[in-house]
Structures are given as structure tokens and as C-alpha cells.
């Protein structure tokens, strides 16, 4: 009965959104750390990617991540529609009424930024995970570095990727602090500090992801010098 309430009640829905959101935020940070290895050269980047791909736990980890992502999307949309039906004006205007306001463009467009991210994920997977398979000089290792360089030589994809990562960072800005608040992990006296930390995290993640395609497009030419 309690498990059913967790999935159906408004409180349970917010808790699931918070927990899955924080899990996805952690994955984003981990994914960014791996992507930034491209600045250390193709060997380090491909070695890291290969260690993940060849790990026997990668399939259950990916399935778990997909389940978390879909649950987050489903509960977020359900929560949004439920709030719209119950209070057409929206609940954001009254959120944290006794503390500093969290109302911002990021908070009021969470459903829009979430849907854009939802559309971006499968396209991103098709481009990289299921994209062309190049063999690296090391036997049995896929040259994902080469694929990354080729993809980000296309100005259209660079613009699309930068836009998507900016939207994701905007979603993350409000999402992290909102999740912690839903879980009751933010003491009243630390609200401003957590809001600032959420903003800094979003800026760091967004800047990190945006830096990669912009740097490759501006400074790496096809068939020309590679990153160090």
C-alpha cells in the first residue's frame, strides 16, 4: 500500500521527481567529467570510453539509467498536469513564500526545458552511441574521439548542441535546489546558499558541455591538428 502511495500521491510524486532528478544530475556531472578528457588527447578519451563500454555492468547500469530517466519524465509531466488542473495559476508563485523567492525564468519553464531535453536525449544517443564505428589504433577500442571531432565540425549540430545544453543547465539550476527542498534537506537559514550553489552547479555543467563543441569547431580542423 505504501509503495502504491509513493507512486500515486502528490507527496510521493514530488519525492520521486526529486530522487530521480538528483540521480540524473549526478550522471550529468560524471558524463561531463568523462567528456572533458578529450582535452588530454584521444588516447585518454578513448580509454575512458572503452573502460565504460567494456564493463560487464554497463548494460544493467544503462537500463537503470533509462528507467530513472523515464520515471522522472513521467512523474514530472503528471505533477505538472495535476497542478495545472488543481491550481491553474500554478504553484510556483506561492513556493517558499516565507523565504527568498525561487520564481525565475528557469522555474517557470521547467516543463518546457524538460521536454526539450527529452527530445535531445535520443538524438544524442543516435549520433554518438549508435553513430559510425571507427577503430582506434589500439585493437578493440572504438575511436569515439574521431567521431566527436567529426560531429562538432558541423555548425548546425554545434548550434543545436549548445542550445540543448543551455536549456539543460537552466533545468538543472532550478531542479537541484527544488529536489533538495522536496526532500527536506535544506534548512531555512541555508536557503540562499543552496540556491546559489544550484546556480553555480548549473553554470559549471552548462559551461563545460558547451565548451566542448565550441572549442572543437573553432580550433580543430578536419584532418588537422588534434587536441593535445
- Whether residue 93 is predicted with pLDDT greater than 60 in this model: the reply is no
Domain 2-85+102-219, second-level architecture: Up-down Bundle (1.20)
What is the rounded CA–CA span in Å between residue 15 and residue 145?
A: 38
pLDDT on residue 91: 43
- What burial letters (b/e) apply to 213-227, b meaning 16+ CB within 10 Å? beebbeebeeeeeeb
With cell 536525449, the residue in question is 121
Of 39-53, 68-82, 85-99, 196-210, give the lowest mean pLDDT range.
Answer: 85-99
pLDDT tens-digit map of 125-142: 999 999 999 999 888 999
pLDDT tens-digit map of 23-61: 999 999 999 999 999 999 999 999 999 999 999 999 999
Q: Give Cα 91 to chain centroid, integer Å.
A: 24
pLDDT tens-digit map of 154-182: 999 999 999 999 999 999 988 998 898 88
pLDDT on residue 174: 87
Of 6-10, 67-71, 181-185, give the lowest mean pLDDT range.
Answer: 6-10
Query: Torsions phi, psi of 142, nearest 5?
Result: -75, 135
pLDDT on residue 112: 93
- What burial letters (b/e) apply to 151-167, b meaning 16+ CB within 10 Å? bbeeeebbebbbebbbb
Q: How far is CA 108 from CA 34, 127, 195, 216, in A?
A: 31, 30, 16, 33
What is the rounded CA–CA span in Å between residue 178 and residue 85?
A: 21
Amino acid at each position: 500500500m505504501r509503495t502504491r502511495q509513493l507512486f500515486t500521491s502528490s507527496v510521493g510524486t514530488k519525492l520521486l521527481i526529486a530522487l530521480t532528478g538528483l540521480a540524473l544530475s549526478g550522471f550529468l556531472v560524471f558524463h561531463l567529467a568523462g567528456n572533458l578528457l578529450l582535452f588530454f588527447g584521444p588516447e585518454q578519451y578513448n580509454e575512458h570510453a572503452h573502460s565504460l563500454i567494456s564493463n560487464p555492468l554497463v548494460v544493467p547500469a544503462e537500463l537503470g539509467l533509462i528507467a530513472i530517466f523515464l520515471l522522472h519524465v513521467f512523474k514530472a509531466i503528471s505533477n505538472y498536469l495535476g497542478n495545472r488542473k488543481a491550481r491553474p495559476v500554478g504553484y510556483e508563485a506561492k513556493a517558499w513564500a516565507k523565504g527568498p523567492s525561487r520564481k525565475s525564468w528557469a522555474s517557470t519553464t521547467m516543463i518546457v526545458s524538460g521536454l526539450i531535453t527529452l527530445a535531445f536525449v535520443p538524438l544524442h544517443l543516435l549520433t554518438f552511441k549508435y553513430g559510425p564505428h571507427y577503430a582506434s589504433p589500439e585493437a578493440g577500442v572504438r575511436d569515439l574521439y574521431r567521431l566527436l571531432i567529426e560531429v562538432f565540425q558541423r555548425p548546425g549540430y554545434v548550434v543545436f548542441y549548445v542550445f540543448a545544453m543551455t536549456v539543460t543547465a537552466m533545468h538543472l539550476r532550478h531542479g537541484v535546489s527544488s529536489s533538495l527542498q522536496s526532500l527536506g534537506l535544506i534548512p531555512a537559514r541555508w536557503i540562499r546558499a543552496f540556491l546559489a550553489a544550484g546556480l553555480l552547479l548549473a553554470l559549471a555543467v552548462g559551461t563545460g558541455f558547451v565548451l566542448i563543441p565550441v572549442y572543437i569547431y573553432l580550433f580543430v580542423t578536419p584532418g588537422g591538428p588534434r587536441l593535445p
